[in-house]
Amino acid sequence: YLGRLQSLEQNPCAFGSLTVRNLLDTSTHFLEECLFTDIFSQQKQMENEQALKLLVVRLETLDRLSTEEKHLQLILGILAGNVFDWGAKEVQDILESQEFTLEDAQKKLQNRPWLFDDFDSWLLRISQNRPYKCAAIFCDNSGVDIILGIFPFARELLSQGTNVIICANSQPSLNDVVYSELLLIVKKASEVCPILRSALKEGRLMVMESGQASPCLDLRLIDENLVTAMREEGADLIVIEGMGRAVHTNFDAAFSCDALKVAVIKNKWLADRLGGGMFSVLFKFERSRKIASRISSPTQR
């Protein structure tokens, strides 16, 4: 791996375009070659078990809030959950040195107005008596992120009448949740949440693999079954979570349906490049656009 990096230092285009996604794919390739297939497996299992114990209290707390405050706290929950990223050195130092909760993570977040702040537009849209038909959520990390951040958000969409597809990586990458894990986590979460349980039973809550094996998201290469499901369900909302997926690879991506791009900036270089500081917030709500393309897909770019 170091040899590959040295080659790239001498000739950045030696293996094609040099991008963050390619560097991450290279790292994954060499880890798998050395039989390190899921290096965060035990850590993810432990964090999932801990977060599941807190889910009921989290949902009860949200249900006591006013509508506007609830929607804000749902988004703050996703953002705070996204801080739990073992792939970010600054966060790794925090997680290894102290007990760190969702509330602690929320205190780390940039105060509003955020670096990219479309929450008011999102609140206006989500408060209308016109629910989305289907939302496809491309999730990020295991543990607090998926269970206390994404699940409550998905639950709210389901309660409004929106079908939800939660899309997870097909193969391991850092502490990102993978499809096989997500199937088990959703089942356990549904045991303590009637809304998730009934939606799962009725087929309104679906868990699918994205076809990815990276912290990034290349929508040209998502799993064919997922594409089919999004077409059949009429997906009209795409939610992309995480720095790798929402910033590194889809920051400027345009969609023919509404899109949410949600991430916390946990890298000093990237924060400087975007004009913010550590733990700056990206919350972009983009309305559907007419996109000229020969490919008919709910995720046209």
Mean pLDDT by 10 residues, the chain (301 residues): 81 76 72 73 94 98 98 98 86 84 96 98 95 98 97 98 98 94 98 98 98 93 97 98 95 97 94 96 95 51 41
Q: Where are the beta strands (DSSP E) in the chain?
A: 116-117, 134-138, 163-168, 205-209, 237-241, 258-264, 281-286
Q: Which stretches does DSSP call E strand in 174-295?
A: 205-209, 237-241, 258-264, 281-286
Is 39-286 assigned to CATH 3.40.50.10880?
yes
Torsion of Cα atoms, 129 then 112 then 244 then 269, to 10°? 160
Task: Please state the pTM of the whole predicted model.
Answer: 0.89
User: What does 188-209 look like in DSSP terms, one character per residue?
Assistant: HHHTT-HHHHHHHHHTSEEEEE
- Residue 172: half-sphere exposure toward Cβ, Cα within 13 Å: 15
Domain boundaries, the chain: 1-36, 39-286
Length of the chain: 301
Which of 71-89 are b and which e, b meaning 16 or more Cβ less than 10 Å from the residue's Cβ? Answer: bbbbbbbbbbbbbbbbbbe
The pLDDT score that the predictor gives to residue 299 is: 44
Reference 169, options 136, 209, 208; nearest CA is: 209
**Residues of 251-278 as b/e, b for ≥16 C-beta within 10 angstroms?**
eebebbbbbbbbbbbbbeebbeebebeb
Residues whose CB is less than 8 angstroms from the CB of residue 233 and which lie 6 or more positions away in sequence, other chains included: 133, 134, 163, 165, 206
Paired sense of beta strands 281-286 and 205-209, if any: unpaired
Residue 292, pLDDT score: 64
Contact 181, 142 (CB under 8 A): yes
What is the reported pLDDT for 297?
44
Report pLDDT for 296: 45
295, burial (CB in 10 Å: exposed 0-12, middle 13-18, buried 19+): exposed
The DSSP symbol for 219 reads G
Specify the DSSP class assigned to residue 118: -
At 124, list the tokens: 């206006």
Comparing C-alpha atoms, which of 93, 103, 100, 182 is closest to residue 141?
Answer: 182
Beta 116-117 vs 205-209: how paired, if at all?
unpaired
Residue type, 186: V
Please give the helix or strand (H or E) that residue 43 lies within, else none.
Answer: helix 41-63
The end-to-end CA distance of the chain, in Å, is 32
